[in-house]
A and B are shown apart, each in its own frame.
Chain A
Amino acid sequence: MDLYTIAFYLFAFITLGSASIVVFSKNILYSGFSLLFTFFGVAGLYVLLMADFIAITQLMIYVGGILVLVLFGIMLTTKVINVDMRSGTFQTLPAVLVVAALAGTLIGIFWTTDWRISPEAAGFEKTASKIGEMLLSSYLLPFEVASVVLLVALVGAAMIARREK
Chain B
Amino acid sequence: MEYGMTIAQILQWLQAPGLNHFLLISGVLFSLGVFAILTRRNAIMVLMGIELVLNAANINFLAFSRFTTGTLDGQVIAIFVIILAAAEAAIALAIVLNIYQNFNSVNVDEINRLKD
In chain A between 41 and 78, which residues have their CB closer than 8 angstroms to a CB of chain B?
A: 42, 45-46, 48-51, 53-54, 57-58, 61-62, 65-66, 69-70, 72-74, 76-78
Contact residues on B (Cβ < 8 Å of other chain), bracket: 35 or more
Q: Which of A22, A38, A50, A66 has the most CB of B within 10 A?
A: A66
Among B29, B62, B69, B86, which residue has its beta carbon within 8 angstroms of that of A49?
A: B62
CB of A80 within 8 Å of the partner chain: no
- Bound CA–CA A112/B22 (angstroms): 15
A117 to chain B: closest residue by CB: B67
Report Cα–Cα, A53/B72, bound state, in Å.
11
Q: C-beta contact mask, B100-116 vs A, less than 8 Å → 1, else 0?
A: 11000011010000000
Task: List the B residue with the shortest CB-CB distance to A48.
Answer: B17
Partner of A91, one of B24, B39, B100: B39
A22 touches B52 (CB 8 A): yes
CA distance A16 to B35 in the complex (A): 14
Cβ-Cβ contact count across A and B, 8 Å cutoff: 234
As a 0/1 sequence over residues 132 to 143 of chain A, the CB contacts with chain B under 8 angstroms (1 = contact) are 001100010010
For residue B109, which residue of chain A has the nearest CB? Answer: A90
Interface of chain B residues 43 through 81 with chain A (CB within 8 A): 44-45, 47-49, 51-52, 55, 58-59, 62-63, 65-70, 72-73, 75-76, 78-80
Q: How far is the CA of A4 from the CA of B97 in the complex (A)?
A: 43
Which residues on B sit within 8 Å (CB–CB) of A103?
Answer: 27-28, 30-31
Pairwise interchain contact A131-B86, C-beta atoms closer than 8 A: no
The answer to whether A116 touches B82 (Cβ under 8 A) is no
Q: How far is the CA of A31 from the CA of B45 in the complex (A)?
A: 8
Complex Cα distance, B73 from A62, in Å, reads 21
Residues of A within 8 A of B98 (CB): 160-161
Task: Known A5-B16, A139-B76; judge A102-B31 contact (CB<8 A).
Answer: yes
Q: List the interface of chain B (C-beta within 8 A of A).
A: 1, 3, 15-25, 27-36, 38-42, 44-45, 47-49, 51-52, 55, 58-59, 62-63, 65-70, 72-73, 75-76, 78-80, 82-91, 93-98, 100-101, 106-107, 109
* 14 intermolecular pairs with C-beta atoms under 8 Å apart: A38-B52, A49-B62, A51-B66, A54-B79, A76-B100, A77-B106, A90-B41, A96-B35, A103-B27, A117-B68, A118-B68, A121-B70, A134-B73, A149-B87
Contacts beyond the supplied A22-B32, A77-B100, A95-B35: 8 A-B pairs with Cβ under 8 Å: A19-B33, A19-B52, A65-B86, A117-B68, A127-B75, A139-B76, A160-B91, A160-B98
